[in-house]
Amino acid sequence: MNAEAATGLFSGLNRNAQIRLLSRFGFNLSVAARDTYEPGTEELIDPQRLRRINEVQHQVFGHIGKLISNDPDRYPDDLLISVLLGHDDMTLRFQAERAFSEAATYVSVAT
């Protein structure tokens, strides 16, 4: 899902659905991060991408906290989606877009 479609979808959700979507997105990213590990070891094969995923998750969970507390000092939806999906690393971009799409499906099924 591209950023424009993701922004439209996210903006159309109520606050509780946005929280559920972001929570699932963060979960999906944790699964995506597993491909940065060396199988069968505690070593990393792509520490830079793992760090970038961690930074995205930091933004996700920070935004969830602001939504829960109804804090108006949070990213506008379009900027948030840009932070979540707009990556120069094409692997991370693909993983983030997929994680978001799957999270959107999860929320729409649960609603």
Give the burial class of 27: count Cβ atoms within 10 A of its Cβ; 0-12 exposed, 13-18 middle, 19 or more buried.
Answer: middle
pLDDT band with cut points at 50, 70 and 90 for residue 1: confident
High-pLDDT (> 70) share of the chain, %: 98
Q: Is 29 helix (H, G, I), strand (E, B) or coil?
A: helix
The CA radius of gyration of the chain, in Å to the nearest whole number, is 14
Query: What rounded mean pLDDT belongs to the chain?
Result: 95
> Using one digit for the tens of pLDDT, what is the confidence trace for 59-93?
999 999 999 999 999 999 999 999 999 999 999 99
**pTM greater than 0.85 (yes/no):** yes
